[in-house]
């Protein structure tokens, strides 16, 4: 069985977490709100810290900001996508470094939200729980 590994970012700035709206042409949950991230691509050779490096690259591609700081794993799970692909999802908390968040690759919109705003958005499955963990982790 082939596995796909995805990394997602709970990006923190000013006690808010960044969310992004999936593009209308996305195969998986088009138009729903999520957190930025993407697949770990197959590489040629060894790459140190591949999960963290992929996370930084995907956030830059999707919402045009730089993230870093103390990157910590806060959640992980598995699921089966339509078509039978087994996905291992890893959710990391990280911090905004620079840039203005905006919709870029595969996203329609972005928003910095507080925990009180969670019910205002239609999230992909599990995402709301990831964000709640993020707020708990940062002590809000």
Q: Could you report the per-residue pLDDT of 28-47, keeping only the tens digit for each?
A: 787 899 999 999 987 777 77
- Give the CATH number, domain containing residue 10: 3.90.79.10
Q: Which domain holds residue 115?
A: 3-137
Whether the pLDDT of residue 116 is over 90: the answer is: yes
Report the number of distinct structural domains present in the chain: 1
Cβ–Cβ < 8 Å for 103, 110: yes
CA gap 54, 52 in Å, rounded? 5
Q: Is 131 exposed, middle or buried (0-12, 13-18, 19+ CB in 10 A)?
A: buried
pTM of the model: 0.90
In angstroms, how far apart are the furthest CA atoms of the chain?
Answer: 44
pLDDT > 70 in the chain, percent: 98
């Amino acid at each position: 069985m082939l596995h796909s590994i995805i990394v997602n970012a709970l990006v923190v700035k000013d006690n808010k977490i960044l969310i992004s709206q999936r593009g209308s042409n996305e195969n998986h949950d088009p138009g729903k709100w999520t957190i930025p991230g993407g697949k770990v691509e197959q590489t040629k050779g060894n790459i140190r810290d591949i999960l963290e490096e992929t996370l930084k690259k995907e956030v830059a591609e999707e919402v045009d900001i730089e993230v870093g700081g103390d990157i910590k794993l806060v959640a992980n799970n598995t699921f089966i996508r339509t078509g039978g692909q087994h996905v291992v999802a890893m959710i990391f908390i990280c911090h905004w470094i620079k840039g203005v968040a905006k919709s870029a690759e595969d996203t329609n919109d972005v928003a910095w939200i507080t925990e009180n705003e969670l019910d205002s958005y239609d999230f992909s499955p599990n995402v709301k729980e990831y964000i709640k963990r993020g707020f708990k982790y940062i002590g809000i």
